[in-house]
C-alpha cells in the first residue's frame, strides 16, 4: 500500500535519491536485510517476466533451448581457466559446510560448470551447434554501495552458452546475439545503445573478445547494458570439449557466452522516469491502459462498468493490454497517483456524465496530455501507444547524442570529460594510451565502436595512426 | 547425442536403475560433479517450463502475483520461529565468507525472509490479502543417496506465501491451493492422488497443520506430491506482521504457505514410463505429435515436406503441438527411437509411397499401436490425444487402487505392510499409536484422508473409537 505518492526528490537535482525513491514508492523493489541484496516485488517482477518472454521467443526462434544448472560450483572447476578464476575470485561467495566436499562456490557465472557438461555432451559434429540458455541468478559480492538493479550482490539474468564447429560460426553467434539485444533494448525498452568491442583491458575474463552495448544515463554516466563474448577455444581446451568432425578428426569446439540482467529494468527507469515516478514504454508495460471508474453511487458504478467492459473488450481485440481498476477501498484520486507512479502509459477516466455521452477522458502518462474522446474513437489508442513508444525513443536518442562530444585532440578531451560529457575519440591499439588516459582523466573506454570510417585518424593520446573510434566516459 | 537407445534395465525387475537410465538416456537430466545436485537438460526443462506456465495461469487468475526473493537469509531471521529453524537447521548450507556479515543461510525455504518483508508491507486491512508466489530453488543438504527429481540437495519449485485478515480466509486458501494442485496433477500429469492432512508428527515445521497430496509409485512406495500449510499466526507473531482492521484495531495476520517442485516430473516419469523410455501424457507434452519424413532422395524429401507442412498447419489450427523432425544427419530409425525414448505421444511417418496416396502411418507411444490414416482424417488425432490422456490416468488409477488395502485389524495391517502394500486403516489422534506402528512396522502415516465416513471406527492400534482413515506406507 502506498502511503504517500509525493516524490520528494527531483530527477534534475538529486538523480540518485530520486531513482531509489521512485523504485521504493512504486513498490518495484525493496532492500534485503543483507546489504547488497534486493527483493523484486510484483510490480517490478512483472516487467522481468515480460522481458523474459520477449527474449525467450527470440532465442527459441533461433534454435536456442533453456535448461537448468546447479548454483554450486566446485572450486576445482572454477579455477580451470586461470584468467577467468582470477577475475571472479574476489567476488565469490563460498559455502562452508557440506559434508567432506571440496570448497563450493555460489555461481558468479556458469561458464566452468556448463563446460564440464559440454565436454560430456559433445562428442561428434552431429552434436553441434549446442546453443543453451539459463535463466538464473548470479552472485558476486559487491564492495561498493548498492544501487537497485545496477549494483547488487545477487542479480537475475540470463546467460547463454554456445559451442560451434568453427570459429566463423561462433563469431556469427556473438554478433547475432549482440544485434538481438540491440533490437530488444532499442525497440522494446526505448533505450538507444552504442555497440562495439571492449578493449583487452575491459573484456570478460577468459574471452578472446567481448562485444557490448552501452548507453548513457541522464546523469551522464555510462551503463553497460549487455555483453556477448567470443570465448574461442579458451575454455574448450582446459575443459577438453572436443568433437569428431565429418572426416573423423578430433577438434576443440569454438564457444560463445552472453547475457543481460535485470539491470535493463534499472536503466529503463532511470532514463524514462520523471518527477511523478516511473514511465514505462508501452511495448514493455504489462498493462498499457488502465480504466478508472469515477462514481458516487453503486448504481452509477454498474453503468460505468458496463461501458468500461465494452472499452476493454474492444481494445483487447486490438491486442491492447488493458485492465479496469475496480478496487472499492480507495478513491479515484488515489488510483490516479497509483498508476502514474507505476508508469502505466494511458489512463482512461469514466465518470457519470461522460458515460451518458459515450465519452471518456484519456490521460497520457508520458506527455501528461488529457483529452476527451468518444467511444467510437477507440482505434486511435493503438496509434497513441505507438506514438508514445517512438517519442520516448527519439527524445532519449537526442539527449544521449547531446551528451556525446566528438573530439580530435587531448586538450578538448580533458575539458569535456571534466564537464561530465562522454567523449568519442580515436584511440590506437597500444594499451598504454588507454591506461595513461585513465590515470590522467579517470575516463574508461566504454567501447571501441563499430562506427569505423575509412579516413585514417590519429590516436587522441599518442598521435599515432589508428582507424577506430572509442567511446570514453565514467561508468556505474 | 544418444549413443544407444537400448534401455538395459526393465521397469518390472529393476525399477530404480530403470528410472535413472531412462532419465539419462532421454537427456532429461545429468548429475552434477557435486553429489546431490542435478542438471536439468533442455528436454527436461521444457516440461518444467510447461508446468510453470499451467500453474502461473491458474495462480494469476486467482489473484496471486509472482515476485523474487534473495537466496541468502540471515541466521537471525531463520531462527525466529524456533520449530521451523530446528526442523531445517541440519540441512542448511551456510555461506562462510561475506565481509563482516552474520552467518548467511542458502534458502531452504523462504518463510522467514518473506515474512520479514510482509511485516513492512502490511499495515492495513487494505493491504490484505497479500498473495505472492516465488519461482526459485531451495537448498537442503541431502544425506541419503540422490535420486533425480525426488531427492536432490537443490530443487526447482514454487513457494506461495499468503497473508489474510481472518483464519477462515487463510483456511480457504489452503484448500483452494490443495485442490488446484490436485486438478493439475490428475488432469495434466495423469497421476491420481490421495489428499488429506499430515499428522502432527509429519506436518511442516512451524505450521498449524499441513495438507498434502500423496501418490503411490510403481514400486509401491508413497511419494508426497505437494503440500499446502496453514501457518495460522505462528509466524505473524514472532515476525510482527500486524494490520489495522476496519475498526482500527490491530491484529496479527493469518498465513499460508504451499509448494510443488520438479518432483512432479519425477513422479510422472516413474509412473508412466515403460521399457522403451519416457511416456508423456499428451496435455503436458511440449510436442504432442512428431512428423518423421522417410525418403531416399532430396526430390522425395521435398514432396514429403510439402505434405508434412500441410499436416502440421492443419493440426496447429486445432491447437495440437506438432513438429517436423527435419534433421538430415540421422536416419529415420534413429529418429523413431529418439522420440520414443523422450515419450512424445504420437509419431507420424510419411514415406514416398504413402505420400502419393495422401496417407501416413500414425504410431501411438502409449499403446504402441500403428495405423495407416488418410490425410482427411486428421481431426481424429485430437480425439486420439484425449483418449491417450484418459487411458493413462485410468490405468494408473486402477493400479494404485490395487496397491492400497483397507484393513480393520493390526494383524492384517502388518502382513500387508510387510508385503509392500499401502494400507488404509483407522487411526486415533493419540500420537503414541502412530509412533508404535512406526516402530513395529516401519510404516509412516502418509495422510489422514478426507475420506471420512460417519460410521464410528476403531483405531487399528489401540482400538479406541476414532473417525478418520489414514493411509500408511513407506515413503521415498
- Range of lowest pLDDT (A80-89, B123-132, B254-263): A80-89
Mean pLDDT of the region A63-69: 98
Predicted confidence (pLDDT) per residue in A315-369, tens digit? 999 999 999 999 988 999 999 999 999 999 999 999 988 778 889 999 999 999 9
Q: Does B30 touch chain A (CB under 8 A)?
A: yes
pLDDT at residue A85, rounded to an integer: 82
Nearest CA to A39 among A129, A170, A157, A149?
A: A149
- Give how far A75 is from chain B: nearest CA, Å: 11
Determine whether the interchain pair B67/A39 forms a contact, defined as Cβ–Cβ distance below 8 Å.
Answer: yes
- Per-residue pLDDT of A354-383, as tens digits, reads 778 889 999 999 999 999 999 999 999 999
What's residue B284's pLDDT?
Answer: 97
Task: Report pLDDT digits (tens) over B393-447.
Answer: 999 999 999 999 999 899 999 999 999 999 999 999 999 999 999 999 999 999 9
d(CA B130, CA B114): 11
How far apart are the C-alpha atoms of A404 and A399, rounded to whole Å? 9
Q: Which residues of A touch B68 (CB under 8 A)?
A: 39-40, 45, 48, 156
Instruction: Give yes or no for B245 touching A (CB within 8 A).
Output: no
Residues A267, A269, A270, A272, Cα dihedral to 10°: 110
User: Which candidate in B67, B125, B162, B163 is best for mutational testing of the A interface (most A CBs within 10 A)?
Assistant: B67
Q: What is the distance between the alpha carbons of residues A473 and B111, in angstroms, rounded to a whole number?
A: 44
- Residue of B39, B71, B139 with shortest CB distance to A154: B71
A46 touches chain B (CB under 8 A): yes
Instruction: Please give the pLDDT value at position A2.
Output: 44
Q: Which residues of A touch B40 (CB under 8 A)?
A: 67-68
Kindly provide the ipTM of the predicted complex, given to two decimals: 0.94
User: What is the structure's pLDDT at B1?
Assistant: 42
Quote the pTM value.
Answer: 0.95
Q: To probe the interface with B, which of A42, A132, A253, A321 has the most B CB atoms within 10 Å?
A: A42
Contact B96 A101 (CB under 8 A): no
B275 confidence band (pLDDT: 50, 70, 90):
very high
| pLDDT single digits (tens) B223-248 | 999 999 999 999 999 999 999 999 99
Whether residues A30 and B156 touch (CB distance < 8 A) is answered with: no
Question: What does B58-101 look like in DSSP terms, one character per residue?
Answer: HHHHTT-EEEB--SEEEHHHHTSSHHHHHHHGGG-EEE--BTBP
Overall average pLDDT of the B306-324 stretch: 96
State the average pLDDT over residues A274-295.
Answer: 97
**B65 inside 8 A of chain A by CB:** yes
What is the tens place of the pLDDT at every residue in A128-141? 999 999 999 999 98
pLDDT at A390: 98
Residues A207-247 have pLDDT tens digits of 999 999 999 999 999 999 999 999 999 999 999 999 999 99
> What are residue B40's DSSP bridge partners?
A68, B29
Torsion angles phi and psi, residue A334, rounded to 5: -60, -45
pLDDT at A356: 80
- pLDDT tens readout for residues B35-73: 889 999 999 999 999 999 999 999 999 999 999 999 999
Q: Average of pLDDT values for B101-109? A: 85
Identify the closest residue of chain B to A104 by CA–CA distance.
B34
**Omega prior to B28 cis, within 30 of 0:** no
pLDDT value of residue A1: 42
Q: For chain B, say whether A95 makes contact (Cβ under 8 Å).
A: yes
Q: Is B60 on the interface with A (CB under 8 A)?
A: no
User: Which chain A residues touch B45 with a CB distance below 8 Å?
Assistant: 65-68
pLDDT at B453 over 70: no
Among A182-196, B94-108, B178-192, B265-279, the least confident range: B94-108
pLDDT for B355 beyond 80:
no
Axis-axis angle for helices A15-25, A263-272 (nearest 10): 110
Q: Which of B30, B74, B120 sits opposite A117 (nearest CB)?
A: B30
**Partner B contacted by A141 (CB < 8 A):** yes
Q: Which residues of A touch B132 (CB under 8 A)?
A: 42
Q: What is the CA radius of gyration of chain A?
A: 25
* B69 to chain A, closest Cα gap in Å: 5
Q: Which residues in chain B are contacts of A65 at CB distance < 8 A?
A: 42, 45-46
Answer yes or no: do B132 and A42 touch at CB < 8 A: yes
Q: Is A329 on the interface with B (CB under 8 A)?
A: yes
Residue at grid coordinates 515480460: A50
On chain A, the residues whose CB falls within 8 A of the CB of B34 are: 70, 72, 74, 101, 104
Burial of A70 (0-12, 13-18, 19+ CB in 10 A): buried
Please give the mean pLDDT across all residues of chain A.
94
Q: How far is A197 from chain B (nearest CA, A)?
A: 31
> Across the interface, do B117 and A30 touch by the CB < 8 Å criterion?
yes
Closest CA–CA distance from residue B30 to any residue of chain A (Å): 8
Question: Which residues 71-90 on chain A approach chain B with CB closer than 8 angstroms?
Answer: 71-72, 74, 77
Nearest CA-CA distance, residue B42 and chain A, Å: 5
- Residue B2: predicted pLDDT: 45
Please state, rounded to an integer, the average pLDDT across all residues of chain B: 94
Chain B partners of A101 at a C-beta cutoff of 8 Å?
A: 34-35
Contacts of A72 in chain B (CB under 8 A): 32, 34, 37, 93, 154
Query: pLDDT tier at B329 (50, 70, 90 boundaries)?
Result: confident
Cβ(B347)–Cβ(B290) under 8 Å? Answer: yes
DSSP string, B348-374: EEE-HHHHHTTEEEEEETTT--EEEEE
**pLDDT tens digit string along A80-106?**
888 888 888 888 888 876 655 668 899
- Between chains, do B70 and A104 touch, taking CB under 8 Å as contact? no
Of A34, A74, A101, the CB nearest to B70: A34
Please confirm whether the linkage preceding A457 is cis (ω < 30° from 0): no
| Angle (nearest 5°) at CA A91 between A88 and A96 | 110
Q: If DSSP states are collapsed to H, E and C, what string results for A269-326? A: HHHHCECCECCCCHHHCCCCEEEEECCCCHHHHHHHHHHHHHHHHHHHCCCCCEEECC
Q: Do A68 and B156 touch (CB under 8 A)?
A: yes
- For the cut 60, the answer to whether the pLDDT of residue A69 exceeds it is yes
Cβ neighbours of B99 in A, within 8 Å: 35, 141
pLDDT of residue B92: 87
Percent of chain A past pLDDT 90, that is, above it, reads: 83
Nearest CA in chain A to B33: A74
Residues 114 through 133 of chain A touching chain B, CB cutoff 8 Å: 116-117, 120-121, 123-124, 126-127, 132
- In DSSP terms, A230 is beta-bridged to A209, A256
Interface contact flag, B141 A35, Cβ < 8 Å: no
CB B225 within 8 A of CB B267: yes
Considering only the beta carbons, identify the residue of A67, A71, A99 that sits closest to B45: A67
Amino acid at each position: 500500500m502506498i502511503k504517500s505518492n509525493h516524490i520528494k526528490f527531483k530527477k534534475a537535482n538529486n538523480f540518485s535519491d530520486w531513482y531509489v525513491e521512485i523504485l521504493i514508492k512504486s513498490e518495484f523493489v525493496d532492500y534485503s536485510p543483507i546489504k547488497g541484496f534486493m527483493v523484486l516485488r510484483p510490480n517490478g517482477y512483472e516487467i522481468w517476466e515480460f522481458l523474459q518472454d520477449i527474449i525467450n521467443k527470440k532465442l527459441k526462434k533461433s534454435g536456442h533451448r533453456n535448461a537448468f544448472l546447479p548454483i554450486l560450483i566446485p572450486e576445482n572447476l572454477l579455477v580451470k581457466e586461470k584468467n577467468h578464476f582470477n577475475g571472479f575470485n574476489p567476488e565469490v561467495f563460498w559455502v562452508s559446510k557440506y559434508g567432506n566436499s571440496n570448497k563450493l562456490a555460489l555461481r558468479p557465472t556458469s561458464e566452468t560448470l556448463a563446460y564440464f557438461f559440454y565436454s560430456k555432451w559433445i562428442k561428434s559434429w552431429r552434436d553441434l551447434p549446442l546453443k543453451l540458455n539459463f535463466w538464473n541468478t548470479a552472485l558476486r559480492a559487491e564492495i561498493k554501495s548498492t544501487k537497485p538493479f545496477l549494483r547488487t550482490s545477487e542479480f537475475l539474468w540470463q546467460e547463454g552458452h554456445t559451442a560451434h564447429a568453427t570459429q566463423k560460426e561462433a563469431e556469427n553467434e556473438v554478433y547475432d546475439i549482440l544485434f538481438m539485444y540491440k533490437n530488444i533494448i532499442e525497440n522494446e525498452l526505448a533505450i538507444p545503445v552504442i555497440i562495439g568491442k571492449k578493449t583487452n583491458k575491459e573484456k570478460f575474463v577468459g574471452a578472446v573478445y567481448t562485444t557490448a552495448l552501452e548507453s548513457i544515463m541522464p546523469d551522464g554516466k555510462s551503463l553497460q547494458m549487455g555483453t556477448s563474448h567470443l570465448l574461442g577455444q579458451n575454455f574448450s581446451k582446459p575443459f577438453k570439449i572436443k568433437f569428431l568432425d565429418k572426416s573423423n578428426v578430433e577438434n576443440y569446439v569454438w564457444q560463445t557466452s552472453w547475457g543481460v540482467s535485470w539491470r535493463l529494468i534499472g536503466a529503463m527507469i532511470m532514463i524514462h522516469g520523471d518527477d511523478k515516478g516511473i514511465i514505462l514504454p508501452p511495448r514493455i508495460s504489462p498493462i498499457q491502459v488502465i480504466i478508472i471508474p469515477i462514481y458516487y453511487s453503486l448504481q452509477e458504478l454498474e453503468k460505468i462498468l458496463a461501458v468500461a467492459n465494452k472499452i476493454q473488450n474492444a481494445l483487447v481485440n486490438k491486442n491492447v493490454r488493458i485492465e479496469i481498476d475496480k478496487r472499492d477501498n480507495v478513491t479515484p484520486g488515489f488510483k490516479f497517483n497509483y498508476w502514474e507512479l507505476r508508469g502505466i502509459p494511458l489512463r482512461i477516466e469514466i465518470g457519470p456524465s461522460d458515460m451518458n455521452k459515450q465519452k471518456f477522458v484519456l490521460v497520457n502518462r508520458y506527455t501528461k496530455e488529457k483529452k476527451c474522446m468518444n467511444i467510437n474513437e477507440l482505434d486511435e489508442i493503438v496509434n497513441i501507444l505507438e506514438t508514445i513508444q517512438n517519442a520516448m525513443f527519439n527524445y532519449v536518442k537526442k539527449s544521449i547524442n547531446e551528451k556525446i562530444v566528438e573530439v580530435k585532440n587531448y586538450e578538448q578531451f580533458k575539458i569535456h570529460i571534466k564537464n561530465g560529457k562522454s567523449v568519442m575519440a580515436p584511440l590506437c591499439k597500444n594499451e598504454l594510451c588507454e591506461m595513461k588516459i585513465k590515470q590522467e582523466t579517470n575516463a574508461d573506454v566504454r567501447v571501441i565502436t563499430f562506427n569505423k570510417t575509412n579516413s585514417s585518424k590519429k590516436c587522441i593520446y599518442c598521435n599515432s595512426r589508428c582507424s577506430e573510434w572509442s567511446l570514453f566516459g565514467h561508468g556505474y
